[in-house]
Amino acid sequence: MHNAACRALGLDATYLALRVPAAALSTVLQALAATGGAGNVTVPHKEAVERSIARKTDVCGRTGACNTFWAEDGVLVGDNTDVAGVRAALAALGVDGGRWLVIGTGGSARAVAVAAADAGAVLWVRSRHPDRARVFADWARRLGVRAEVAHGPVEADAAVNATPLGLGEHDPLPIEPKDLRGVRVALDLVYARGGTRWICGLRERGQGLIAGDGREVLVQQGAAAFTRFFPGVAAPVEVMRAAVERALRA
């Protein structure tokens, strides 16, 4: 996606994947700051990077998770463009406000909570670990979100999978379809070739439910990140979207 954007605009830049163990995270961030690097952070490092960077945007601070960084004057600045990606993807599915169910309590779920706060949505929190759900709901309420722990099925307008379930071919579903009462939109932040098993199953059930995987979140947060990497340069969103669709085509 980013390399396609750089080629389209003739920018002398390359985007590379870098696997970083937790023990090496601080060293890698220091090296990137010293060399003027920029990039994105994915699971499981988003919260650790937010705690490690020297400066951060308001959104990054509110989420407590960093997915985008760049260097300014030898120090790293952090942002969280996942929030913009979630809002844009839900809006494309017809959701703005209402009642949201978020499944998960990690860095991606934090972005969903901030998006819910900005949209004025009520947030239900579901986790396999009740203690984590309670802590997350307490944290979300401090953001100004009307958040509650989901015990069993709840009535919601939109359900968002913010767990990594679906990255593996044999992962269990993040939530059973029978527990999605009244849900008209489902968004999976995970993306996979041909769609995740959860989203494909929901689409097969029909019943008027609109379901989308994380590719639009990926594109929208990527476009926002691109403008951080290259200030003053508009992200070629359609080029980026086409690159993602090519990569994820079944």
pLDDT in tens, 62-103: 999 999 999 999 999 999 999 999 999 999 999 999 999 999
Per run of 10 residues, the mean pLDDT along the chain (length 250 residues) is 98 96 96 95 93 95 96 96 96 95 95 97 96 98 96 91 91 90 93 90 84 95 97 98 90
Alpha-carbon torsion, ordered 20, 135, 218, 122, to 10 deg:
-170
Residue 56 annotated as catalytic = no
pLDDT of res. 181: 84
pLDDT of residue 250: 58
12: its two tokens: 């002398």
Q: Which of 46, 56, 126, 228 is catalytic?
A: 46
Q: Which long-range contacts (CB under 8 A, 24 or more apart) does 227-233 make?
A: 228/38, 228/68, 228/70, 228/79, 228/81, 229/2, 229/13, 229/38, 229/70, 230/11, 230/13, 233/9, 233/11
105 DSSP 8-state letter? -
Give residue-wise pLDDT tens across range 193-224: 888 999 999 988 876 789 999 999 999 999 99
Residue 15 CA to residue 17 CA, distance in Å, equals 7
- Residue pair 58/50 in contact (Cβ under 8 Å)? The answer is no
Beta strands in 58-161 (DSSP E): 68-72, 75-79, 99-103, 122-126, 146-149, 154-155, 158-161
Mind listing the domains of the chain with CATH numbers?
A: 2-81+218-248 (3.40.50.10860), 83-215 (3.40.50.720)
